[in-house]
Amino acid sequence: MNDNVKVYEPSNSNKNLFSILRDMFTDLFSSKDLAYRLFIRDKKAEYSQSIFGVLWAFFTPLATTVTWIFLSASGAVKIQATHVPYPVYVFLGTMLWSVFVESVMTPLTQTQNAKDILSKVNFPKEAILLSGLFKNGFNITIKLILIAGMLIIYQVKIDSGIFLLPLLLLLLVFLGYSIGLLVTPIGMLYKDVSRALPLVFSFLMYLSPVVYKGGISGKMAKLIEINPLTPLINSARNVLTAYPVENPVYLACIFGVSLVLFFIGWMFYRVSVPIIIERM
Model confidence at 132, pLDDT cuts 50, 70, 90, reads very high
| CB distance 38 to 121 below 8 Å | no
Question: Is the pLDDT higher at 171 or at 88?
Answer: 171
The whole-number average pLDDT for the span 160-173 is 92
Contact in structure between 60 and 202 (CB atoms under 8 Å)? no
Per-domain residue ranges for the chain? 19-40+52-279
Q: How confident is the model at residue 215 (pLDDT cuts 50, 70, 90)?
A: low
User: Are 91 and 61 contacting, i.e. CB atoms less than 8 angstroms apart?
Assistant: yes
Residue 177: band (very low, low, confident or very high) from pLDDT cuts 50, 70, 90: very high
> With 90 as the cut, is the pLDDT of residue 22 above it?
no
- Flag the least confident range among 72-81, 118-127, 150-159, 250-259: 72-81
Distance in angstroms (rounded) separating the CA atoms of residues 214 and 208 = 10
- Greater confidence (61 vs 138) lies with 138
CA distance 223 to 219: 6
| 89 contacts: CB under 8 Å, gap ≥ 6 | 82, 213, 237
Q: Is the pLDDT of residue 106 over 90?
A: yes
| Mean pLDDT value across the chain | 83
pLDDT tier at 11, thresholds 50, 70, 90: very low
Instruction: Kindly state the percentage of the chain with pLDDT values over 70.
Output: 84
- Mean per-residue pLDDT for 209-238? 82
